[in-house]
Amino acid sequence: MHGSTDKLRVTLLQVSAGQDMQTNLVRLKHLLDGIGATDLIALPEVFSVRGSDQDYRRSAQPVAGQTTAFLASIAHRHNAWVLAGSIIEDAGHALYNTSVLLNRRGDVVASYRKIHLFEASLENGQIIRESETYNAGTEPVMTELEGWRCGMAICYDLRFPELFRHYSNEGAHLFFVPSNFTQRTGKDHWTVLLRARAIENQCFVVAPDQCGTNPHTHVESHGHSMIVGPWGEVLADIEEGERAVTVTLDHYDLNQTRRRIPALTHRKM
């Protein structure tokens, strides 16, 4: 793979994180045992700790913190890039929900602060409001992974097509959408939105999601970690449980899709 960028092996990781970071990271390491050769390991949103606002505040750290150091060791061990779906970033003046990309050497190549903060009123009266914990990011982040141009997003961002259109206009080949999508919204919206973002921009979408239940809020996550192709085809779907699945993305499929329907060249706005 190193001499060519035509194909990219992506390992999608679905986890059910709890409130103890060390336990979560050890379990994650075991999940990756035996995955074989890969180019990218993609982790969900808040993969290292899932619980209360207090848990998130307590686990907050700079981008160059202990969680990133742990992921650098994963990158070395598997000779793979690592998408840290999101960590709770302590920027000194504020907390951000931040996605981080590390290269094979374990160097931080890009970080993206979640722009759209989730808010929902659940049927049981429970209100989820991320803005009570995090500040919103302000900048889209495009990065490059061995010749593949990647647009970074997190979970709720998926509902805002203008972010993905921005990345598409910048020449994106794939989108990262690490998530902790709730079961209530996910069962109706997750697959539809992922496929829509793929189809309308003729891009691959890599979307690792959490499964199981938040041990503090008891809100259930949807699972169904997915990779979607540029035609809108579902290339991987981890329906339930903690698992790792590897899929090979091929630039040929991207080019063929864009040749068959040259929609990207027909844009008027």
217-226 pLDDT, tens digit each: 999 999 999 9
Q: Tell me whether strands 127-129 and 204-207 are parallel, antiparallel or unpaired.
A: unpaired
Q: How many domains does the chain fold into? A: 1
| Mean pLDDT (whole number) for 205-227 | 97
What single-letter DSSP state applies at residue 221? B
Q: Output the CA angle 72-11-214, nearest 5 degrees.
A: 80
Residue 171 sits in a domain of what CATH number?
3.60.110.10
Residues 120, 126: Cα–Cα separation, whole Å: 8
| Mean pLDDT (whole number) for 246-251 | 98
**Does 1 map to a domain?**
no
Q: Is the pLDDT of residue 269 over 90?
A: no
| Mean pLDDT (whole number) for 126-140 | 92
pLDDT at residue number 37:
97
* Residues labelled catalytic: 45, 114, 155
What single-letter DSSP state applies at residue 6? S
* pLDDT-based confidence at residue 247 (cuts at 50, 70, 90): very high
Residues 40, 79: Cα–Cα separation, whole Å: 9
Q: Dihedral sign, CA of 68, 69, 75, 81?
A: positive
**Does 207 map to a domain?**
yes
**Does 172 map to a domain?**
yes
pLDDT at residue number 1:
35
pLDDT at residue number 4:
46
Residues 28, 15: Cα–Cα separation, whole Å: 7
**Does 22 map to a domain?**
yes
Nearest CA to 150 among 254, 28, 18? 254
* pLDDT-based confidence at residue 127 (cuts at 50, 70, 90): confident
187-203 per-residue burial string, b: 16 or more CB within 10 A, e: under 16: eebbbebbbbbbbebbb
pLDDT at residue number 34:
86
244-257 per-residue burial string, b: 16 or more CB within 10 A, e: under 16: bbbbebebebbeeb
Domain that holds residue 172: 7-266
pLDDT at residue number 120:
81
Sort 154 into a burial class: Cβ within 10 Å, 0-12 / 13-18 / 19+.
Answer: buried
